[in-house]
Amino acid sequence: MTIQFGNIGTYVINKQPPNKQIWVSSPKSGPKRYDFVIIGGSQQEKPEWAYGEWAYLRDNTTLVDLIYDELGVHLTSQSAKWA
């Protein structure tokens, strides 16, 4: 998906099914690879039902953080399932 924001620039977002990652190219912060990280202490939790976040593991920020910090858009985190 390519999204162009007038004075900010163009964002490119790609789903990477083999790696179960989302790759984002930002005109402000550059390229990042987000992994789906399950939040919770139990190993009994199944990934398809557990709560999680798309996280950039190098600096522990989330995709929601990137969208808020760079675009000023407020999103709420919801349970997500890799499709």
Say yes or no to pLDDT of 12 above 90. yes
pLDDT at 82 exceeding the cut of 70 = no
Q: What is the mean pLDDT of the chain?
A: 82
pLDDT tens profile 15-40: 999 888 999 999 999 999 999 887 76
As a whole number of angstroms, the distance between CA 77 and CA 68 comes to: 12
| Domains located in the chain, CATH noted | 2-71 (3.30.920.10)
Is the distance from CB of 5 to CB of 11 less than 8 angstroms?
yes
**Mean pLDDT within 4-15:** 91
In this structure, what token pair is assigned to residue 31? 């390229």
pTM value is: 0.73
